[in-house]
Amino acid sequence: MGDQVQLLHRLVEEREDELLELVEELVRFRTPSPPARNTKKAQQFVEQFLKEIDFDTDMWDVYPGDPNVVGTRKGLNPDTHQSLILNGHIDVAEVDEGNEEWKYNPFEPVMDNGRMYCRGTADMKGGLAGALFAVNLLHEQGIHLPGDLIFQSVIGEEVGEAGTLECCKRGYNADLAVVVDTSDLNIQGQGGLITGWITVKSPQTYHDAMRRNMIHAGGGVKGASAIEKMMKVIDGLQELEKHWAVTKSYPGFPVGMNTINPAVIEGGRHAAFVADECRLWITVHFYPDEDHDTVAEEVENHIRRVAQADPWLRENPPMFEWGGTSMIEDRGEIFPSLDIDENGKGTKVLQASHKEVLGEAAPVSMSPTVTDGGWLGDAGIPTLIYGPGDLQNAHAVNESVSVEQLVQFTKVMISLIYNWCSEERKDDANVI
């Protein structure tokens, strides 16, 4: 480890209070999503921070009141040296202050027994602050590296609005991206996720007094309750989920992580009607060797076979809608999966950077949840997930993060940026 990096690591320890003040400033911005449309002030703060350390900034609205911020610091030799994206989301999980029993104000940070408590500390403003503090120290020490450094603070991750996808569409690219989201300092990939709506709809609407005629011999009415028929669809989904658990697996995941969750059901008009429509909102998790279109097709094909076995559903087959760009705007989302290579160059450099700080290589694993990392991977950017905080605290009441881990993470970011952006690019290298 070079003398410059050792000095920077010491500065993180000596200026721990400044690091924590930066986390506190970020978490005080109320950016829960939903309701969203509330990140502008927080993003203006990030943009100004980046401007003051000589980043060229780009801020644009993804949705009104929810802008992305990207800062770029061009390297001294960008054509020949490796570039790096640091990516994180500024929105945090929703808070129901009227019904959740928070020990402290969820938007006023409190230190207690070596942990900082506040919404967003673990997921993931702690990671954003640590990465910002790392690039700030590099700037203060006059370290201008050969490779480009790109910092992305994005919106919408909590509700599938994929601010990161918008960065990719805008043309931002690099030789490696690190999503500084909640991973407990594990280097991670992830499975994927897609939501879908399944609709069962009757061509006729009946008064509830007609139910007897629909279900008893000689009644003469060929009708059905859409709610009751949706029960058969749910049974079919459970059969497929069990089949996947037996027939599919992927290294790094517990068996059966590819679940089909019947999350929300809506149906019927009111008690005086036989339900003529029922809609089921499902969430489907899949492995890194699958994609959301193929998985959605598998679900559709199976449920269509289920419908063929039922006389009424055969004539009134279920309808499907998949994905979406926002859980708020169109009640749907997609998170692509992200595979990683334990022997890839990016993984090795991040492991070595972790080892410089913690004395051992970082564990490599697969996240049981999802992040925006899949969008970067889909754009052809080798991507890793690595950040402070753990999933027990993400989205939790009394969310908190370890101060010691924040310090460790910030040091690792310094080493990663220095090590990665100092190396010459090798176009044939396997970087992940």
Q: Which residues are catalytic?
A: 91, 157
Beta bridge partners of 285: 193
Q: Which residues contact 152 (CB under 8 A, 6 or more apart)?
A: 68, 69, 70, 85, 86, 87, 88, 164, 167, 172
What's the 3-state SS for 371-415? CCHHHHHHCCCCEEECCCCCCCCCCCCCCEEEHHHHHHHHHHHHH
Residue 92 has phi, psi (to 5 degrees) of -130, 170
Please report the beta strands in 106-248, taking only residues with DSSP state E, as ranges in sequence order: 110-112, 115-117, 149-154, 176-179, 187-190, 192-201
| Amino acid identity for residue 199 in this structure | T
Residue carrying the six token digits 């989302």: 333
Which of 91, 88, 109, 87 is CA-nearest to residue 38? 91
Structure tokens at 333: 């989302």
Do 180 and 157 meet the contact criterion of CB atoms below 8 Å apart?
no
Residue carrying the six token digits 């199976």: 302
Using CA of residue 291, residue 292, residue 297, residue 298, what is the dihedral sign? positive
Between CA 353 and CA 133, with CA 184 as vertex, the angle to 5 degrees is 55
